[in-house]
Amino acid sequence: MIVQVVKLLGKRLLGRTAGKRDFAMLCGEMAHAAQGEPIVLDFAGVEVLTGSWANSALVPLYKWASSDDNNVFPLIYGIEREWLDDLRLIAEWNHHCYLLVSQKKESPRSAMLLGTLEPGQRATLEAVQRFGEVTGVQLKQDIHDGVEATAWNNRLRDLFDKRLIRREKRGREQVYSSLAKEIVFDG
């Protein structure tokens, strides 16, 4: 699913009050997506995006997307360079990350991770990228660094909650996979 932000919300995304209103409109639009579906938020054509708007609209949107009732995966497309500093700051404040895609596709080949992961989470995301579909048990078996399967599972769950990887239940196992074939870290 692709949400054309400019058609839904307009060209100027300014302020906390508008961000709260727009959060509700984005949720309404994204509610049509199937569970587990990536949703590209296409910001092409937006002229102004402020940090206060993003903090009031995007931060709660990711929490909404991760709820069991919704379980969708927002991907961001069409962000202007001058907005990146505000988005980095918001990601840092909220301990969150965003996947910025360079193509307006629901299954992107590559994405840039905006925000910071703790070293264990970053290593786990890199392992998911390297191995494709993984479980915590598989990572314990394949990476001999003394990390137990429970710790791998906790890291995988945290990345899933951040909307950076997908999860599928297969029998008793939770199998995790990447949203993009390649993820480049911003910094």
Q: Is the domain of 42 the same as that of 134?
A: no
- Where does a domain end: 116, 139, 169? 116
Q: For strand 2-4 and strand 38-42, is the pairing parallel, antiparallel, or unpaired? A: parallel
Q: Taking a C-beta distance cutoff of 8 angstroms, is the pair 121, 174 a contact? A: no
> Residues 48, 131: one domain?
no
pLDDT score at 179: 87
- Confirm if 112 and 100 have CB atoms less than 8 A apart: yes
Q: Enumerate the H helices of 31-135 as residue ranges.
A: 51-66, 84-94, 119-131
Diameter of the chain measured on Cα atoms: 51
- 88-113 per-position pLDDT tens digit: 999 998 888 998 887 776 667 888 99
Give the residue with greater pLDDT, 186 vs 37: 37
Asked whether residue 92 is domain-assigned, the answer is yes
88 and 138 share one domain: no
- 185 occurs within a structural domain: no
pLDDT tens by residue, 112-149? 999 889 999 999 999 999 998 999 988 888 887 888 88
The per-residue pLDDT for 153 is 92
The tally of domains found in the chain comes to 2
Q: Which domain holds residue 155?
A: 117-180
Q: Does residue 53 sit in the same domain as residue 139?
A: no
Q: Does a structural domain hold residue 74?
A: yes
Domain membership of residue 31 (yes or no) is: yes
Distances (CA, A) of 44 to 124, 171, 186: 32, 41, 21
Q: What is the pLDDT of residues 36-81, one digit of tens each?
A: 889 999 999 999 999 999 999 999 999 999 888 889 999 999 999 8
Q: Within this chain, do residues 36 and 121 fall inside the same structural domain, yes or no?
A: no
Overall average pLDDT of the 152-169 stretch:
92
Measured distance CA(159)–CA(9) in Å, rounded: 29
> Looking at residue 68, which CATH number applies to its domain?
3.30.750
